[in-house]
Structure formats: structure tokens, C-alpha cells
Amino acid sequence: MKRLATFTAVDFLHHSLYAPSMREANGQIVVDVRAVEKSFGDGADRIHVLKQVDLQARTGEIMMLVGPSGCGKTTLLSAIAGTMRVESGEIEVFGNPLEKMSGGALTRFRAKHIGFIFQQFNLIPTLTVAENVGIPLLIQGVSSSKALKRSREILDRVGLGERWKERPNKLSGGQQQRVAIARALVHEPPLVICDEPTAALDAQNGEIVLDLFRQVARSAERAVIIVTHDNRIFSYADRIARMDDGEIIEVTEQSHQQPPQFIHEHTH
């Protein structure tokens, strides 16, 4: 599959690999998680999934949440995205306290500010690829013709421009994942939240997607948070937050003195 036509090597070098991140230039805090707790079940069956979690994400960075299965990564991601309420603590996204928003206000806030890439692709089988991608634009009131034009542009960038008329069931798992990624990016949300976005991708397409995420994160006032087990992509992170048993145990920064590299051997 050909590389991104609109994302040349010069663009990549200029915008992402060697340009200082907004994080390095005093990036603003866009996600502020403070003393958050979440549990499931009752009584003796109660399981504490998040335990006094504190975390911040800043403009201009890719942050990765890593850790063993069941440690609370996806729960934390869902709480930041506003798709799951927490029991205690505070979460602010772009200065807006999520716990104080009504359900309707939270839905409108997500539609405008957050692009969510789910571990399950959640594509609508009766819609074409381009129609699936354009859903966030239609929700915002963009006309069908403009939504289609923008959808085709972003599909080109993930290498699926020629498949825009097809139904999702005609695509491979990796191609469906790229459609889901395009859908999350089409409305240019300032916060992109990803749950295992490269799990179904081979090295070539995984590199395309990470290059695109990196370009997004280098845009002014934008940030990317990725939950992943995929150690092939760790070098793309500006910071890595390690979780275990519902807690953030370590946050490390990466200097990027060398360009990030997609590791072709996938180990768990």
C-alpha cells in the first residue's frame, strides 16, 4: 500500500520528528485527572479498578498508557472521554469539569472536542466507508456534501481513498481499524483518545497511522492519548504512564533525540 500522498518525508521531518513539541514549549494541560476512583460490583464482589489516580496530558504531546491487562487503562480512558462516570475525584478536559456536566452537555462536549478510537471498530454495516467516517461532521451540522468531501480527504491520508464507496464488511480488520481512526480525526478534535489503535495493523500501516497521530499531536492546542500493549510503537510517545492494579506507578518522558521508529517485531 502506498504511503500517504499528502504527508511527505519533508512534512514529516518538519512537523513531527525534529520540531520541538508543544510539551517542550510549555504545553498547556488539557486533561487533568485528580484522585479519581472507580469500582465495579457490590459487597464482597466489589473490584476497585481505579485507585486515587492522578494524571495530566498536555498540548503537543502523545501520551501512552501502558500496563498489564486488567490494570484499569481502558477504564481510565473511558472516564477521560466522558463515556463512564467515576465515583470520586475530578476530571477536567480543556478546563471543563466532566463530573459537573449533564448527560446532554457531556454528549455535546464530546462531539466537539474528543475523537475516540475504540478497540472495537463500531462501524455501521449499512453505511459506506465514507459515510461512517463522516458521522462526527453530520452530528455537528455539517452538510452531507461537505462531510463526504472531508471524509474522502482523511481516507486518502490513511491509505483508503479508493475504498470510500464500499461497505465495512468488504474490508479487512486492519482496514476497518483505519476507517475508525479516520472517523475519529475527521472533525479535527483537539483531543484524540485511542484504545489499542494499532492492534490489527501490520508494520507499514501502523507506521502510517503513528505518523498521522504525531502530526496531529504537534498541532497547536491538540493532544493524543493512547492505551496500548503494542511495544512496537512506544518510541512515538512523548510521555509514557505505566499503570498497575488501578494506579499510575510511573510517568516517564522521552527525549526524541532520534526519530521514533516503528518496531517491526511485535512482542507481548
pLDDT tens-digit readout, 100-145 = 999 999 999 998 999 998 888 899 999 999 999 999 999 999 999 9
Alpha-carbon distances, residue 117 vs 78, 149, 267 (angstroms): 11, 21, 22
Task: Show Cβ contacts of residue 22 under 8 Å, excluding neighbours closer than 6 positions.
Answer: 28, 58, 59, 60, 61, 218, 220, 221
**How many angstroms separate the CA atoms of 178 and 176, rounded?**
5
- What CATH number does the domain containing 110 carry? 3.40.50.300
Lowest mean pLDDT among 19-33, 94-108, 113-127, 149-163: 19-33
Confidence of residue 202 (pLDDT cuts 50, 70, 90): confident
Lowest mean pLDDT among 22-31, 67-76, 245-254: 22-31
Query: Does residue 186 register a pLDDT over 70?
Result: yes
> Residue 142 corresponds to which cell in the numbers above?
455539517
Query: Does residue 40 register a pLDDT over 70?
Result: yes
Structurally, how many domains does the chain consist of? 1
**How many angstroms separate the CA atoms of 266 and 253, rounded?**
22
Query: Model pTM?
Result: 0.83
* 198 domain-assigned: yes
* 196 domain-assigned: yes
* 105 domain-assigned: yes
Confidence of residue 264 (pLDDT cuts 50, 70, 90): low
Alpha-carbon distances, residue 175 vs 24, 170, 189, 194 (angstroms): 34, 9, 22, 16
Q: Please report the pLDDT score of residue 19 as a whole number.
A: 38
* 188 domain-assigned: yes
Residue pair 33/89 in contact by the 8 Å Cβ criterion: yes
Q: Please report the pLDDT score of residue 16 as a whole number.
A: 35
**122: helix, coil or strand?**
coil
Confidence of residue 205 (pLDDT cuts 50, 70, 90): confident
DSSP output for 170-224: GS-HHHHHHHHHHHHHTT--SEEEEESTTTT--HHHHHHHHHHHHHHHTSTT-EE
Instruction: Report the mean per-residue pLDDT for the chain.
Output: 86
- The residue with cell 466537539 is 112
**How many angstroms separate the CA atoms of 177 and 196, rounded?**
10
**How many angstroms separate the CA atoms of 101 and 107, rounded?**
9
Query: Does residue 250 register a pLDDT over 80?
Result: yes
Q: Enumerate helices (H) and strands (E) in the chain, giving the number of each.
A: 8, 10
Identify which has the larger pLDDT, 261 or 96: 96
* Residues above pLDDT 90, as percent of the chain: 66
Q: Where in the sequence is the domain holding 215, given as residue range(s)?
A: 9-28+59-71+101-238+245-253
Identify which has the larger pLDDT, 13 or 26: 26
Q: Please name every residue paired with 73 in a beta bridge, in sequence order, or none if there are none.
A: none
**How many angstroms separate the CA atoms of 28 and 38, rounded?**
26
Q: Please report the pLDDT score of residue 4 as a whole number.
A: 36
227: number of Cβ within 10 Å = 25
* Residues above pLDDT 70, as percent of the chain: 86
**How many angstroms separate the CA atoms of 204 and 264, rounded?**
9
**226: helix, coil or strand?**
strand
